[in-house]
């Protein structure tokens, strides 16, 4: 079996494409989450350990571990260091200090893993000609500059918002994006040579800024445009 990352003929390991803790909110009263699909002839089946696929060898799988651990820690751990951005006394975004390289590499490696996976859950993810570039960034531990595979994150502050639909592609003002759902978070990953649409610019992961996670109301999801100016005014550059 050929490892999709190092290209060597090796035994491949079962690896989670989306790290396991991002499925944890789905485990209700010790029942396993079920995978539901509109694929013809597919019946809901239990998915006790999330979704996994054999795409890489054990050595390559280890490359992802520190990034997976970091993303789970920074996104899922509740702590007092979190600050909020408020507008009219309403919380509109979380602000946290973060390690740009590790979080960025987590998201681009997630996009790469979903692209090379043949699991039907990731059938709508295919970065096509960008795949060799992302693979090289993973092998070089290179997170790229903020515009390269730019990432923005939002979160639903509602338990219902932790549903995990399959990721899909979407065009924001004509720019190609992939949307991933992770335990209430939505990550928007750009796969396009053109720059980020202007309304999203203030929200992308950037080494000179804290992590900004826009809070969205699950029942009446808001537009990015609402906070563009506020973020621009209130988030100081480091």
Member of 17, 35, 55, 60 binding Zn ion (CB under 5 A): 60
Among 17, 57, 196, 215, binds Zn ion (CB under 5 A): 57
Q: State in angstroms the smallest separation of the CB of 132 from Zn ion.
A: 15
Write phi, then psi, for 199 (nearest 5 degrees): -70, -15
C-alpha torsion 132→50→59→147, nearest 10: 30
Kindly state the smallest distance separating residue 13's Cβ from Zn ion, in Å: 9
Specify burial of residue 14 (Cβ count, 10 A radius: 0-12, 13-18, 19+). Answer: exposed
- Residue 56 Cβ, how far from Zn ion at the closest point, in Å? 5
Q: How many residues bind Zn ion (CB under 5 A)?
A: 5
| Token pair for 80 | 């007092």
Q: What is the rounded (10 degree) CA torsion for 167, 170, 176, 181?
A: -30
Binding part of the chain for Zn ion, among 1-9, 16-24, 35-43, 211-219 by CB under 5 A, reads 1-9
Encoded one letter per residue, x for contact with Zn ion by CB under 5 A and - for no contact, window 155-194 reads: ----------------------------------------
Helix, strand, coil percentages in the chain from 3-state DSSP, rounded to 5: 35, 25, 40
Stretch that binds Zn ion, among 35-43, 51-59, 79-87, 108-116 (CB under 5 A): 51-59
Interior CA angle at 5 toward 205 and 120, to 5°?
80
Assess 92 for contact with Zn ion (CB under 5 A). Answer: no
C-alpha–C-alpha distance, residues 6 and 3, integer Å: 6
CB of 55 to Zn ion, least distance (A): 9
Alpha carbon 213 to its chain centroid, in Å, reads 12
- Contact, 23 vs 34, CB < 8 A? no
Minimum Å gap between C-beta 6 and Zn ion is 3
Q: Which residue has the tokens 């808001």?
A: 222
Site for Zn ion, residues 4 to 43, rule: CB under 5 A = 5-6
Part of the chain binding Zn ion (CB under 5 A), chosen from 52-60, 75-83, 202-210, 227-235: 52-60
Nearer CB in complex with Zn ion: 5/116: 5
Q: Decide whether 36 or 58 has the Cβ nearer to Zn ion.
A: 58
The residue ranges that bind Zn ion (CB under 5 A) are 3, 5-6, 57, 60
């Amino acid at each position: 079996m050929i490892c999709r990352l190092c290209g060597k003929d090796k035994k491949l390991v079962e690896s989670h494409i989306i790290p396991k803790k991002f499925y944890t909110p789905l485990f209700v009263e010790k029942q396993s989450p079920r995978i539901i699909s509109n694929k013809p002839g597919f019946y809901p089946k239990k998915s006790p350990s999330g979704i996994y696929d054999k795409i890489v060898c054990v050595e390559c799988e280890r490359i992802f571990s520190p990034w997976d651990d970091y993303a789970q820690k920074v996104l899922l751990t509740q702590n007092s260091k979190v600050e909020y951005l408020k507008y009219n006394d309403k919380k509109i975004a979380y602000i946290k200090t973060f390690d740009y390289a590790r979080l960025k590499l987590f998201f681009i490696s997630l996009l790469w893993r979903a692209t090379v996976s043949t699991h039907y859950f990731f059938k709508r993810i295919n970065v096509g000609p960008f795949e060799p570039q992302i693979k090289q960034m993973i092998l070089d531990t290179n997170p790229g500059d903020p515009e390269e595979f730019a990432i923005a994150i939002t979160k639903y502050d509602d338990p219902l918002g932790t549903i995990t639909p399959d990721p899909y592609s979407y065009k924001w003002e004509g720019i190609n994006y992939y949307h991933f759902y992770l335990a209430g978070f939505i990550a928007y990953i750009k796969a396009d040579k053109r720059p980020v649409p202007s309304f999203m610019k203030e929200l992308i992961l950037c080494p000179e800024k804290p992590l900004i996670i826009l809070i969205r109301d699950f029942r009446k999801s808001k537009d990015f445009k609402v906070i563009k100016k506020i973020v621009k005014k209130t988030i100081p550059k480091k």
